[in-house]
Chain A
């Protein structure tokens, strides 16, 4: 009997035995979390298994998050062999928070982003290598309520300036010398779980589902995002500056919102 049939059988039994409550019986444990991960891993990676190797992927996350709606994640990557990166928050309702596909102008070394965490959970960073091999690192994060945390401002206020963006370069972008950049996008990233404190209605979900960054037309990365990205996402990444630039950022959201902006390399402005 596979898992699904077993689950259906359990549910059927539960509904037949009317009045018998489904109790939360077995306390959560590292082993139970590991089992949930194995299940999740199968559905995300079509049955493939990831193995740890901290030289290729290392995840840094707070043990206890001060603000569950703004949990910083830093993923350090082993470079060129990396084709894709997944950030998976195991126990969030939509576990796959981010999926990066790196392009020829990408330099997969450090990726930083901020996410919402719904309950105490394992977080996995999984790198897909050029040869298809999967490498992972995981951290247990104590944070909860990040998904339903209401915004401190009205929905209207939070939506103001949606799609405005800024790209910061710490130094000059010289071709052949990979450098870092930080992208900031103004967007409420409503996840459908936040209640408007005035109307008492759930604010309908509207979130960024794709960010594409190119430099001089060459792909840096393509990011498929889900509703776990924090409000006003801030994203740091590395790229290999192309001779001409500019860096083009395209942002899409679930409601058909589309914003595009070109950023000139700092080297060209100096």
Chain B
């Protein structure tokens, strides 16, 4: 019966995670590398300084209402982000599909006005490969000033206020 008292423990790999050469196609939640070639890793105060003039890109996933929940039960997912951020739900997939690639390319061109020099800060949560992937994809697309905020919105919340955000409608509409 001691089993009953065992709680879920998130085990963390102690070893440094090597940076993949390509987009990461493994489990999306887990220890991430501390670097990203072609991008700069930033912390919350650095973003606070960068914020004006930069595109803040949140690529976190959104929870789905389980089908076995009572249909009339309340479901109100609220997503907190960095104030001023654009939320592209699930834009951190490691997918190599050309359709996903062009959807990502188009939305980013729209958001930056085609300016490859525009500073872009990419984040999701801690231990989230999504932001690493999205930042990697930006580097591969030729964006010159890509910042990866590894600690994610939780890291931001440690020091600053977060803001509720709705999913980006253009990105969601492009879902085919």
Whether A associates with B in a native complex is yes
| A contacts, CB < 8 Å to B | 11, 14-15, 18-29, 32, 36, 40, 43-44, 67, 69-70, 91, 93-96, 118-120, 142, 144-145, 147-153, 158, 161, 164-166, 184-186, 191-193, 195, 197-198, 200, 202, 204-206, 209, 226-227, 230-232, 234, 254-255
In the complex, 15 of the A-B residue pairs with CB atoms within 8 angstroms, ordered by the A residue number, are: A11-B169, A15-B170, A22-B169, A25-B84, A93-B78, A94-B65, A119-B162, A149-B10, A166-B4, A205-B68, A226-B69, A231-B7, A232-B5, A234-B4, A254-B68
Q: In the complex, are the beta carbons of B30 and A23 less than 8 A apart?
A: no
**Cβ–Cβ contact B169 & A15, under 8 A:** yes
Give Cα distance in the complex from A145 to B168, angstroms.
22
Whether B4 pairs with A25 at a CB distance below 8 angstroms is no
A24 and B161 contacting across the interface, CB-CB below 8 Å: no
Q: Taking CB as reference atom, which chain B residue is nearest A190? A: B66
Which residues of A have CB within 8 Å of B29? 148, 150, 195, 197
Interface size class of B (residues with CB under 8 A): 35 or more
* Chain A proximity of B13: nearest CB distance (Å): 11
**Centre residue among B5, B11, B67, B163 by max chain A CB count within 10 A:** B163
CB distance from A66 to the nearest CB of B (A): 11
Q: Which residues of B contact A (CB under 8 A)?
A: 1, 3-11, 26-30, 58, 63-70, 73-78, 80-87, 110-111, 125-126, 153-154, 157, 160-170, 173
State how many angstroms separate the Cβ of B164 from the closest Cβ of chain A.
Answer: 6
Q: Which of A23, A93, A153, A164 touches B63 (beta carbons < 8 Å)? A: A93
